[in-house]
Structure 1
Amino acid sequence: MDNYDYIVVIAKLAKAFKNDGETVGFGCEESSLPYQINIYRKINGSKTYCAAKAWCLWQIQSPLIDSGEHPEVIMLKADHVIEDELGRFPVGGWVRSSPILAVYDNCIFETGNTFYIAVGEGMQKQISAEDASSFF
């Protein structure tokens, strides 16, 4: 890899992880986390949960999605895990979800295997499918 390649990778990382997006009206207060955990359990208690703050919804862009040939893909990326029921992600660590399938109570995001509870204010931004997948 030459210097130009490193610069491109660093620019992609900065765009995906550090550039602010638009503030969204999702997320719950940290004090209401026990209440939100009860809500998720009523929806589907067989899945596990992960609560996180400092989060962003990534709206994935690709030619297939933009043309309508593929359904919209949104993922949650959070910079601070509060609690992960299975201990997959360390407290204070970061997490990126698989595609979101449903949203409940404006703060509970369901994926194929997990419910993510978004705590506090969050952001939303568009990111290319290539960038979203290249880091993980």
Structure 2
Amino acid sequence: MNDFNAVTEMLYGDGEPMVGSAMADAQALAHMESLRLNTGFCLVRNWIWLDLDVTDAQRAVLAKTRRQPVMIYAHTVVYDSAGRWDAGDFVRTSPLLAFDDGFLFKTSNTTYVLLGDGVRKRVALETVGRIF
């Protein structure tokens, strides 16, 4: 599969269905503000859970920082508390640090709130790296 097809399949192909939070946008915003986190948070919809194919060496590097070879790509940012992304933008996270409550995807700097349904896919790390 060429690079373009691999990226297209990752972004728009079928995947294993996953369920995120059923909260409405305003509800999710109020919930996250009530948690008073020490990190920023980002509400996202139309998301893809990406299980990364990595080498043993890459897995070891991630493990040293307690991260896992998983990222989220979201087609739709609803709200970003740090103002890095505008509503409607897409976002690709850094690797997973923790996953809580079935919808809070935590990275080293940000908690991503997975709203609505998403899909899960296995992809090559190089394919994810081709998205800006």
What band does the TM-score fall into relative to the shorter chain?
0.7 to 0.9
Q: What is the CA–CA distance in structure 2 between the aligned matches of 1:26 and 1:113, rounded to whole Å?
A: 20
Q: Does 1:113 align with 2:113?
A: no
Q: What is the CA–CA distance in structure 1 between the aligned matches of 2:94 and 2:69, rounded to whole Å?
A: 9
Q: Does 1:73 align with 2:65?
A: no
Q: What is the CA–CA distance in structure 1 between the aligned matches of 2:105 and 2:119, rounded to whole Å?
A: 14
Q: What is the CA–CA distance in structure 2 between the aligned matches of 1:92 and 1:33, rounded to whole Å?
A: 16
Q: What is the CA–CA distance in structure 2 between the aligned matches of 1:133 and 1:25, rounded to whole Å?
A: 25
Contact 1:28–1:107 (CA<8 Å) still a contact in 2? no
- How far did residue 74 of structure 1 move? 0.7
Q: What is the CA–CA distance in structure 2 between the aligned matches of 1:82 and 1:26, rounded to whole Å?
A: 14
Residue 52 (structure 2) aligns with: 60
Secondary structure in structure 2 of the residue aligned to 1:124 = strand
Residue 36 (structure 1) aligns with: 31
For these two proteins, the number of residue pairs brought into alignment is 126
- How far did residue 132 of structure 1 move? 1.1
TM-score under structure 2 length normalisation: 0.82
Contact 1:40–1:108 (CA<8 Å) still a contact in 2? no
Which amino acid in 2 is paired with 1:82?
A: V
- How far did residue 53 of structure 1 move? 0.3
Q: What is the CA–CA distance in structure 2 between the aligned matches of 1:19 and 1:54, rounded to whole Å?
A: 13
Q: Does 1:127 align with 2:129?
A: no
Q: What is the CA–CA distance in structure 1 between the aligned matches of 2:82 and 2:126, rounded to whole Å?
A: 29
Residue identity (%): 24
Secondary structure in structure 2 of the residue aligned to 1:134 = coil
- How far did residue 28 of structure 1 move? 3.3
Q: What is the CA–CA distance in structure 1 between the aligned matches of 2:46 and 2:33, rounded to whole Å?
A: 22
TM-score under structure 1 length normalisation: 0.80
